[in-house]
Amino acid sequence: MKKTILFSSLFLFLSGCKYLEAPSMGLAKEMCSCLFVGEQTINFCKEVTKESRLLAKFKVDWKNKSVEARGTGHKSVAKLNDNARFGCAIVSVDEEEVEFSKNIY
């Protein structure tokens, strides 16, 4: 009985928890900053974000200078500001509706 109550409480806590957005948000912002502000190579940035990529995967939009990351049921997009001096910012966080296709990093 105690286990059932504990698991039910944990489920309710995590279902509305903002912490589930963190892996995709963190990876999107880190990759965007590394690639577009730091002007590093994709391989270097993949090494720097190795821990973040355990829970999320990313896709780079080179034309729009943005990074989309998906993980733990959420999709986040980080984009380089018009003034590069201000770096990258998270522009959207949504619940994930569709899985990434195979062409992701």
Which two tokens mark 45? 């940035």
The pLDDT value given to residue 104: 55
d(CA 48, CA 43): 9
Residue 28 has pLDDT above 70, yes or no: yes
- Residues 33-49: tens digit of each pLDDT: 999 999 999 999 999 88
Tell me the whole-structure pTM to 2 decimals. Answer: 0.73
∠ CA 24-13-28 to the nearest 5 degrees?
5
* pLDDT tens-digit series, residues 72-104: 888 999 999 998 889 999 998 887 776 655 455
